[in-house]
Structure 1
Amino acid sequence: MKLRMVPARQGAVWVKMGVRTFFKQPLALTGLFFLFMAAMSVLSLVPVLGSVVALALLPAATLGLMAATQEASKGKFPMPTVLVSAFRAGRQQLRGMLVLGGLYALGFLVVMGLSALVDGGQFARLYLVGGELSADLLMQSDFEAAALVAMALYLPLSLLFWHAPALVHWHGISPLKSLFFSLVACGRNFWAFTVFGLTWMAAFLGMGLVVAVISALLGSPQLVGAILLPAGMAMAAMFFTSLYFTFDDSFEVSTGDPA
Structure 2
Amino acid sequence: MKLNIVPARTGVQWFKLGVRTFIKQPLALSGLFFMFMAVMSVLTLIPLIGNVLALALLPAATLGLMAATEETTKGKFPMPTVLLSAFKAGRQQMRAMLVLGLIYAAGFLLVLAISATVDGGKFARLYLIGGSLTPETLMEPDFESAVLLAMGLYMPLSLLFWHAPALVHWHGVPPVKSLFFSMVACLRNFWAFTVYSLVWLGAFIAMGMVVAVIAALMGSPEAVSGIMFPVAMVMAAMFFTSIYFTFRDCFDAGTADAPGIEVT
TM-score interval, normalised by the smaller of the two chains? over 0.9
Distance in 2 of aligned mates of 1:23 and 1:33: 14
Partner of 1:234: 234
Distance in 2 of aligned mates of 1:243 and 1:237: 10
Report the CA distance between 1:90 and its aligned residue: 0.5
TM-score, scaled relative to structure 1 = 0.97
**Following superposition of structure 1 onto structure 2, how do residues 51-130 of structure 1 map, counting pairs within 5 Å?**
51-130=51-130
- The code of the aligned residue for 2:57 comes to L
- The code of the aligned residue for 1:148 comes to L
Distance in 1 of aligned mates of 2:47 and 2:71: 35
Report the CA distance between 1:212 and its aligned residue: 0.5
Distance in 1 of aligned mates of 2:150 and 2:234: 27
Q: Structure 1: state its 5+ residue gaps.
A: none
Partner of 1:194: 194
Other structure's SS at 1:23 match = helix
Other structure's SS at 1:133 match = coil
**Following superposition of structure 1 onto structure 2, how do residues 1-259 of structure 1 map, counting pairs within 5 Å?**
1-255=1-255
- The code of the aligned residue for 2:235 comes to M
Report the CA distance between 1:225 and its aligned residue: 1.6
Q: Structure 2: state its 5+ residue gaps.
A: 257-264
Distance in 2 of aligned mates of 1:73 and 1:57: 25
Report the CA distance between 1:74 and its aligned residue: 1.1
Report the CA distance between 1:100 and its aligned residue: 0.1
Report the CA distance between 1:255 and its aligned residue: 4.9
- The code of the aligned residue for 2:228 comes to L
Report the CA distance between 1:221 and its aligned residue: 1.8
Deviations 1:115-143 (A, max 9, x none): 00000000000011100000000010000
Distance in 2 of aligned mates of 1:162 and 1:218: 40
Deviations 1:2-45 (A, max 9, x none): 10000111111101000000000000000000000000001011
Partner of 2:259: none
Report the CA distance between 1:220 and its aligned residue: 2.0
Deviations 1:60-111 (A, max 9, x none): 0000000000001111100000000000001111011000000000000000
TM-score, scaled relative to structure 2 = 0.95
- The code of the aligned residue for 2:194 comes to T
Aligned residues: 256
- The code of the aligned residue for 1:50 comes to G
Distance in 1 of aligned mates of 2:10 and 2:68: 22
- The code of the aligned residue for 1:211 comes to V
Whether the aligned pair in 2 keeps the contact of 1:52 and 1:105 (CA below 8 Å) is yes
- The code of the aligned residue for 1:70 comes to E
Other structure's SS at 1:118 match = helix
Report the CA distance between 1:227 and its aligned residue: 1.3
- The code of the aligned residue for 1:53 comes to L
Distance in 2 of aligned mates of 1:69 and 1:87: 17
